[in-house]
Structure 1
Amino acid sequence: MLLELNDLHVSYGAIRALKGVSCQVDEGEIVALIGANGAGKTTTLRTVSGLIRPQAGSINYKGKSIAKLPPHQIVSLGVCQVPEGRRVFTRMTVIENLEMGAYTRNDKNGIKEDLKKIFDRFPRLEERKNQLSGTLSGGEQQMLAMGRALMSRPNVLLMDEPSMGLAPMLVQEIFAIIKEINKTGTTILLVEQNAHMALSISNRAYVLETGEVVLSGPAEDLANNPEVQKAYLGE
């Protein structure tokens, strides 16, 4: 088991955001968290990243607890998040953003090699490498956010709403890239409003409702589940 969340409880003041969430991600999988807005999906990712401390429960990565570690240590262990809304550094160039992704590393040659790999995967970023990130389109910023996260050489990539605000054609492209990234050995925990797309590329999925896991199983089974179809797939 690569990543295991056990009985996580998180509150924002009086609001209970997570009420005992448990899920697991095995090496090499794409696992999706789906659910309505406010279900607790983003809170789950932010808790794994160390941005939020759980009140109770455990988070184990490679068998060791990471629940009390600061975010930069969690990144250096191999768990990195592509945040919702992309959050690129708008006043920095594309290449500066990518270099920021490697801030926990000091292997100059490795960083150079990884930059080349990112540009091979995202040719548009290479074309715009000296451009300020704030001038990129939404799709290009999403690619940059993914590239920046990959520069930390993650074992687990936490992806929060990668398709948000993108045109349908770009959504297809971004999901094809997520599949490619997974094929090259990166495990992915994916939070996504577009349940159709999320289930189409995932191995397994969990359905969250008001801070609790209400359904889980192979992605294909959930996609064919009448309850899921009615609530999340508009069928």
Structure 2
Amino acid sequence: MLLEVKDINVYYGVIHAIKNVSFEVNQGEIVALIGANGAGKTSIMHTISGLIRSRSGSIHFDGKDISKVASHKIPGLGLVQVPEGRHVFTEMTVLENLEMGAYLRKDKENIQKDLEKVFKRFSRLEERKNQLAGTLSGGEQQMLAMGRALMSKPSLLLLDEPSMGLSPILVNEIFDIIKSINKDGVTVLLVEQNANKALSIADRAYVLETGNVIVSGQAKEVADNPKVKEAYLG
């Protein structure tokens, strides 16, 4: 098991946002967390990344308890988040953004090789490598955020709402890219409001409602669940 989240509880002031949530992600899987807006998906991602703290419970990554590890140290362990809303460095070029992704790496000689791999996967980024990231379209910024994360050589990639605000054609492209990243050996935890798309590429899924996991199982079983169909799959 690569990631084990056990009984985490997250509060914002007096609001109990995440209630005893447990789930796991095995090496090589794509696991989807789906649910309506405000269900707690992003809060869970931020808790795993160390951006917010769980009041109780534990998070183990690759056998190590990371519940108390400082957020800036977590990418160095191989766990990297692509945040909701992309958050590229708008005043830096595409190339500089990608180089920032590799800032923790010690194997400098392989960085150039990985940069070439990113450009091969996202050819549009190579065409725009000297352009300021702030001038890219939403889809290109999403690709840049994913490319920047890949430059840190993650074993687990957390993707928070990668399809948000994108046209249907671009959504398909992003999901194809997620599948190919996974095929290359990167495990993926995917938070996504587009439940149909998420379930179509995931191995397993967990459905969140008001901070609780209400359904879990193989992605196909979850997609066939009447309750899930009615609430999320239209």
Q: TM tier, shorter chain?
A: over 0.9
CA distance in 2, matches of 1:219, 1:26: 14
Write the deviation string for residues 155-204 of structure 1: whole angstroms up to 9, x where unpaired: 00000000000000000000000000000000000000000000000000
1:12 aligns with 2:12: yes
Separation of aligned partners in 2, 1:7 and 1:202: 23
Spell out the pairing of 1:203-214 with structure 2 (5 A cutoff): 203-214=203-214
What displacement does 1:213 show? 0.4
| CA-to-aligned-CA distance 1:186-234 (integer Å, 9 cap, x gap) | 0000000000000000000000000010110000011111111100001
Q: What does 1:110-189 correspond to in 2, within 5 Å? A: 110-189=110-189
- Specify the code of the residue in structure 1 equivalent to 2:230: K
Partner residue, 2:2: 2
* TM-score using structure 2 length: 0.99
CA RMSD in angstroms, aligned pairs only: 0.6
Which amino acid counterpart does residue 203 of structure 1 have in structure 2? D
Matching residue's letter, 2:57: G
Under a length normalisation based on structure 1, what TM-score does the superposition of the two structures give? 0.99
Q: Matched residue of 1:23: which SS?
A: strand
Separation in 1 of the partners of 2:178 and 2:71?
A: 23
User: Residue 194 of structure 1 corresponds to which residue in structure 2?
Assistant: 194
Following the alignment from structure 2 to structure 1, what is the Cα–Cα distance between the partners of residues 131 and 62?
38
The alpha-carbon deviation at position 110 of structure 1 amounts to: 0.9
Q: 1:4, 1:216 → 2: CA distance?
A: 15
CA drift at 1:74: 1.1
Partner of residue 224, structure 1: 224
Specify every segment of 5 or more residues in structure 1 that has no aligned partner in the other structure, as ranges: none
- 1:12 is matched by which residue type in structure 2? Y
Secondary structure of residue in 1 paired with 2:81: strand
Provide the residue aligned with 1:51 in structure 2: 51
Q: CA deviation at 1:91?
A: 0.4
Equivalents in 1 of 2:22, 2:139: separation in Å?
32
